[in-house]
Chains A and B, each alone.
Chain A
Amino acid sequence: MVNVLEIIGIDSYIYLSVILFCIGVFGILYRRNAIIMFMCIEIMLNSANMLLVAFSTYHQDASGQVFVFFTMAVAAAEVAVGLAILVAIFRNIGSIDIDNLKNLKG
């Protein structure tokens, strides 16, 4: 069977992952809606997952793909906690705009 990676090349996968990662980073820096920020965190984690899977195929080594399962489980737990905090915020101030969170400063 032809290995797809040999046709496309590992470089393209790395570039794609880096681009996705940067989209996630800039999303967190510039968007102000909490849900969208959560989605950006997911994009960051998933770009890393894609890189792991690509490298796993590149090295013909299964451990990278196993690692991705760990990451997905962890990411799910993380976002569950984040959404819980967001619900608490919404109940208190009725908005999920991050700019409203300005009570702490000094």
Chain B
Amino acid sequence: MNTLIAIGGLAVLVLIAEIINLRKFIIPITIIGLLGILGLTINDFGLQATYFNNMIVVNKFSTAFNSLFIVLTIFLVTLSGDFYKDQLPKISDYISLKLFLLMGAVSMVSFGNMAMFFLGLEILSISLYILAGSNRKDIRSNESGMKYFLLGSFASGVVLFGIAFIYGATATFDIGEIFKLAINGGIPKWYQLGVVLIIIGMLFKIAAVPFHFWAPDVYQGAPTLTTTLMSTLAKVVAIATLYKLSLILTLSMPEAYITALVFISIITMTVGNIMALRQDNIKRLLAYSGISHAGFMIMALVNLAQSEASLFYYATAYALAGIAAFTVVIVVCRGKSEELIEQFNGLAKRSPLLAAVMSIALLSMGGIPIFAGFFGKFFLFSQALEKGYITLVIFGVINSIISIFYYFKVILAMYTKEVEENASELQIPLSYKVVGVVAILINIVIGLYPSFLLDIF
């Protein structure tokens, strides 16, 4: 609970720091503050409590995911320092927007009331619209912001309509009471309509097929750091929220609901992977890869009772690999109008460190053993098998194999192709090296000791 208030306070502090001319210290202050908040959050571990008239519910699930979000934000803030060095007067806006976004994320996984959920969702989305369109002289960034705004507010409208129906059926916004009423049965049919609308709205947010069409365009046009944020933090937040909502709302749903989820999961990973095969823009490639990962994470929803730990593990592995991969993309594609895979040609000669970080990140996303991505997939598959969804697992395995092809396309470009002649010297700021290496190291460590994360639930 203190997490939420502390993050809000830190965001305001960042804005004040700009006013009193402490611009140079904004990023160090934010990182130190976030580390402190991370300690505060982890300290609460195992606590079960509710705050503010049941508005905030703290449990293991929310604490674990909040810690993950804070770690990701620390990485993103560290990257911001160099990324925004040309727009230094606006740095406090960018940093405080990221912190407000984190506030929305925290309230989305620890909500105890539908009002808190909706506010969290909107705080997160509105901050993201601004960040996506933040490069306002560039029409591609504007276009990305506009598309994200239209689709995002469309999804918010659908979610809100769903909340209204659930309120109509249960006469309460409190998730504990909604859960009890839904289990006991005998509530109007509006309830199921409302649940379906909320789930559809959230599927929009995680970019699951058939609601995925906005993702590649938005990811491509947005400034690369915002793309990093969207494909790691925002995606993990949305999937965690979808999981929590499913736990509360969908236990009384008919059998067909699970069938629909299995179908969406299969089609999401297949379409994501197949479309990724023919991309030559690295940001679009990672966007489609993110769509297919969303499909894998939807697998957690078919076995709600036991998949909490495996979903958390998968989300952590995916987000850390994503941060590392995008760190390299930012460095390599800096100052280019398009982020093409050709620009990675011969990266191993220009910078062996970055090439290694990128390769490990992609191998982890593809699910090669010893990296965390493999175990993430393994745990998700095994919990789906426990419930007997063999078709789902078969499609999952086939899709892991397909995904290797396009990840290797990038790795081969880095290691076997010649450097382009007009390629300039790579300038790698220290903060980027640190973020890339640390993210990859955490990824490898949780790959070697998966029980470290799995046992906390």
Contacts and interface: CB of A to CB of B under 8 A. Distances in A.
A10 B164 CA distance: 13
Given A14-B190, A74-B119, A81-B130, 14 more contacts: A14-B168, A48-B157, A48-B163, A55-B164, A58-B168, A61-B172, A64-B167, A77-B122, A78-B122, A88-B136, A98-B150, A101-B143, A104-B216, A104-B217
Main secondary structure of the interface of A (DSSP, over half): helix
Interface of A: 10, 14, 17, 21, 24-25, 28, 34, 37, 41, 44-45, 47-49, 51-52, 54-56, 58-59, 61, 63-64, 66-67, 70-71, 74, 77-78, 81-82, 84-86, 88-89, 91-93, 98, 101, 103-106
Contacts of B119: 70, 74
A58 B167 CA distance: 11
Interface string B185-202: 000001000000000000
B279 A85 contact: no
Nearest to B217: A104
A21 to B, nearest CB: 6
A24 to B, nearest CB: 7
Contacts, number: 134
Contacts of A14: 168, 190
A70 B136 contact: no
A10 to B, nearest CB: 8
13 contacts: A24-B157, A44-B157, A44-B160, A48-B163, A52-B164, A55-B167, A67-B118, A67-B163, A77-B126, A82-B150, A85-B149, A104-B140, A104-B217
B115 A70 contact: yes
Interface of B: 114-115, 118-119, 122, 125-126, 129-130, 133, 136-137, 139-140, 142-147, 149-150, 153-154, 156-158, 160-161, 163-165, 167-168, 171-173, 190, 216-217, 220-221, 279-281, 284
A78 B279 CA distance: 33
Contact of A103 (B126, B133, B221): B221
Contacts of A59: 168, 171
Contact of B129 (A45, A64, A81, A89): A81
